[in-house]
Chain A
Amino acid sequence: MSTPCKRRLLRDFKKMKTDPPQGISASPLNDNIMQWNAVIFGPDETPWEGGTFKLTITFTEEYPNKPPKVVFNTKMFHPNIYNDGGICLDILQNQWSPIYDVSAILASIQSLLTDPNPNSPANSEASRLYQENRKLYEKKVKEMVEKSWEEEEENADE
């Protein structure tokens, strides 16, 4: 059945196909437009370079009046990303606005990667290292990026 939410998601999908933000791809599951898979590529010339980070986005019928639930499936090391992949980002919580679409959400998450907010830590170790020992923080991020490739290979073997 076509609902306002689903029609809006179709528009979001059309926009992702015709005008995708750089380093981001996303599409709904074949049989369920309320559930999307997305990949954010680590921005060049940052410790995140070369990483492929997978996410799932789950919408409710209240979208765009309520934000979707976005989680990382790739294991992350970042001050604002929980161990279970949950993301601490204001626009996905109390600063949500119905003008955001899939493209804007993912672009915000992509910029959060390289521009964390240490004031709302979700991973205390990443947050502490980011503030106190940037060199070690970047080393840990790079290790995580390499692990994301291993995950990729494991999935390919399955």
Chain B
Amino acid sequence: MAKAKIVKARLVANWTWNGVNEVCGICHVHLDGCPPEATAKFQTPGDDCPVVWGECKHAFHLTCITKWLGTQSDSQSCPMCRRRWEYSG
């Protein structure tokens, strides 16, 4: 017979994107946080605010890098190292 009965439990988990502990070079918000896009869609950290990596190993918020690449007409370069931007698979 158990001496204590659990009535209520609150579970808390810590998470972080795999291998990144830095700010997004474009918006300067932490990669675990939300980029400063004004839409409600991007207000919850996590899957709503995905982080993507380039072949060059640099990471950015998906919305931030998409916007940057969209402003570049010819060369699609990584903001950090200026190498040609290719999404890492």
Interface set of A (CB-CB < 8 Å, partner B):
2-4, 7-8, 11-12, 62, 64-66, 97-99, 101
Contact = CB atoms under 8 A, between A and B. Distances in A.
Contacts, number: 37
Q: At the interface, is chain B mostly helix, strand, loop or mixed?
A: loop
Interface of B: 25-29, 35-38, 64, 67-68, 71, 79-80, 82
B35 A4 contact: yes
A139 B36 CA distance: 48
A20 to B, nearest CB: 16
Contact of B80 (A3, A4, A99): A99
Contacts of A97: 79-80, 82
Given A4-B35, A4-B36, A64 B71 contact: no
A65 B71 contact: yes
Contacts of A11: 27-29
Q: At the interface, is chain A mostly helix, strand, loop or mixed?
A: loop
A101 B28 contact: yes
Given A8-B28, A65-B68, A98 B35 contact: no
Nearest to B64: A98
Contacts of A2: 38
A76 B29 CA distance: 36
